[in-house]
Amino acid sequence: MDNSGTFAHQHDGAGCAQHVRGDDCRFCNVRHLSICAALDPEELSFLEDMSGDAIYAEKSTLFREEDDVVSIFNVTFGVVRLVRSLSDGRRQITGFALPGDFLGLSLEKNWSFTAEAVTEVRACRFKRSIFEDFSDRKPHLMKRMHEFATHELSLAQDHMVLLGRLTAEEKIATFLVAMKRRWTRVEGHELGLIRLPMGRQDIADYIGLTIETVSRVINQMQRDRKLVIVPDGIRFVDPAYFDEHALR
């Protein structure tokens, strides 16, 4: 059974259909990971009527920092980078959204970050106003959103430790271990490789290094037989090393 479902470089419709079949939530294969798992069939069908499947090309922008929050998103396929930029061009990527991740938890009127498609991205899209009315009437949905938000807060704290207190080597190791865990959760089972659909510059901007340092550290790890670099990702050769050097 093939569910290797590569990201950026697969263009047949069938590959995508594995991930979202039309607009029917019943066939959504990230539902158990997403906000929607809090909903019963009736609620789901209401929300389904309110939602549409949206597709974004690689490198396109879902929304920009300061934009009005018109729609909110449940990513069903692909990878989105969440970016804060400074006026002089410095960027900090605050997170990567993977299938199952929700964009628009905050109920604020404006986005506090920019979202850009790293790969082709598919997302279940809701009108913000409708979703908000709905969540106001559904306390268990609000509670689930709150749980998602506080979980993200905990991840944000992890990330602060990484940015503020880890060495370049520890940052890379921690990032790779986290990506492995996240993909395993999304895919439902462990893969031989760790997908890295984002470029080196994105990794650098996520962990607070330069592209050169990211490249150097990863290639040094390969020379040291800790991992091997493969197309679209890396493969752990010495998992024990990563257990030891990654944070939590």
Partner DNA sequence: AAGCGGCATTGATGCAAATCAAACCGTGGC
Partner DNA sequence: GCCACGGTTTGATTTGCATCAATGCCGCTT
Interface residues with a copy of itself (CB under 8 A) are 84, 86, 90-92, 94, 105-108, 112-113, 136, 139, 142-143, 145-147, 149-154, 156-161, 163-165, 205, 207-208, 247
215 binds, among a copy of itself, DNA, none (CB under 5 to 8 A by kind): DNA
Amino acid making up residue 29: N
- Residue 122, classified by CB atoms within 10 Å of its CB into exposed (0-12), middle (13-18) or buried (19+), is buried
**Cβ of residue 62: shortest distance to DNA, in angstroms?**
18
- Give the span between the Cα atoms of 79 and 101, in whole angstroms: 10
Q: Tell which one of 22, 89, 192, 231 touches DNA (CB under 7 A).
A: 231
> Contact between 200 and DNA (CB under 7 A)?
yes
Tokens 């410095």 -> residue: 90
Residues 7, 233: contact at Cβ < 8 Å? no
**Cβ of residue 243: shortest distance to a copy of itself, in angstroms?**
14
Q: Tell which one of 229, 235, 238, 243 touches DNA (CB under 7 A).
A: 229
Q: Tell which one of 152, 216, 237, 241 touches DNA (CB under 7 A).
A: 216
18 binds, among DNA, a copy of itself, none (CB under 5 to 8 A by kind): none
> Contact between 61 and DNA (CB under 7 A)?
no
In DSSP terms, which residues pair with 114 in a beta bridge? Answer: 83
Q: Cα torsion at 115, 161, 227, 200 (round to 10°)? A: 30
Tokens 């865990």 -> residue: 181
> Contact between 209 and DNA (CB under 7 A)?
yes
Closer Cβ to a copy of itself, 164 or 192, answer by number: 164
> Contact between 169 and DNA (CB under 7 A)?
yes
User: Closest Cα to residue 134, out of 72, 206, 210?
Assistant: 72
Handedness of CA 54, 58, 60, 63 (dihedral sign): positive
> Contact between 199 and DNA (CB under 7 A)?
yes
